[in-house]
Amino acid sequence: MTRARTLLASLFCTVIMTWQAPVALAGDVEKDFTEARQLFNDDNLADAVPILRRNVAENHLPSILLLAYIQDLAEENVEAVKLLRKAADMDSPQGQFYLGRMLSRGEDGVRVDLPEGRKWINKAVEAGYPPAMVYLSLAYRRGELGMSVDEDKAYKLLTQAAEKGYSPAMQMLSDAFRLGQMGLPKDKEEATYWNKEFQKAKKVEAEKLAKEAVPVPEPK
């Protein structure tokens, strides 16, 4: 379970570090979420889930996403999608992206729906969510999600994500210039620049992760 949790945490946990609760949701809901998150980190899902369900009834976004992750881990995919739709309808870029991923890939009980999957992924991109930008960039490079290969769009999306400080995008850009990928000429100077930016960003992320209980997501 620990290995699966580490892998799947890439789907649902950025918001836990970045989302700030409105005043109306402060107090007990936030305290409950802190407790539930600690239980989750201790692999005590039996006690974490009831707390998260109570918070979901209060439209607490981090609880919605974390519960969706837990349900996905348990292969309760239909319920996970329902929660992700709730998050997406709350204009959560994270919820939009992860909903789009599930719909575009399909899961047990969830049929593949590429048009809707692309719609939600694009909404997350439009909202400036870097993991969605990288995911869509990879789709253009590979000709996935029912789209034709478009290396120019792939490069533009990757650059946008890198310029937002997203380290996986920086690493991919460095590799692209070093190897001459995405139709780019080999450029040692650009490759070195983005590698240095990647190293700096990873250091900042490591410092942040030392204070957090969950990892930063990286699209696979």
One-letter amino acid at 184 equals: L
- Name, in order, each residue with C-beta under 8 angstroms of 2's C-beta and a sequence gap of 6 or more: 43
140-180 per-position pLDDT tens digit: 999 999 999 999 999 999 999 999 999 999 999 999 999 99
pLDDT exceeds cutoff 70 at 68: yes
129-151 per-position pLDDT tens digit: 999 999 999 999 999 999 999 99
C-alpha pair distances (Å), 122 with each of 26, 55, 69: 31, 28, 21
- The DSSP bridge partners found for residue 110 are 107
CA dihedral sign of residues 43, 48, 53, 59:
negative
Task: Give the pLDDT score at 73.
Answer: 86
Nearest partner of 195 among 212, 217, 179, judged by Cα: 179
Every domain of the chain and the residues it spans: 1-127, 129-215
C-alpha pair distances (Å), 215 with each of 16, 23, 76: 10, 26, 22
Distance separating alpha carbons of residues 116 and 136, to the nearest angstrom: 14
Whether domain 1-127 has CATH 1.25.40.10: the reply is yes
12-21 per-position pLDDT tens digit: 444 443 444 4
45-56 per-position pLDDT tens digit: 999 999 999 999
Distance separating alpha carbons of residues 207 and 194, to the nearest angstrom: 20
pTM, two decimals, is 0.81
Task: Give the pLDDT score at 21.
Answer: 41
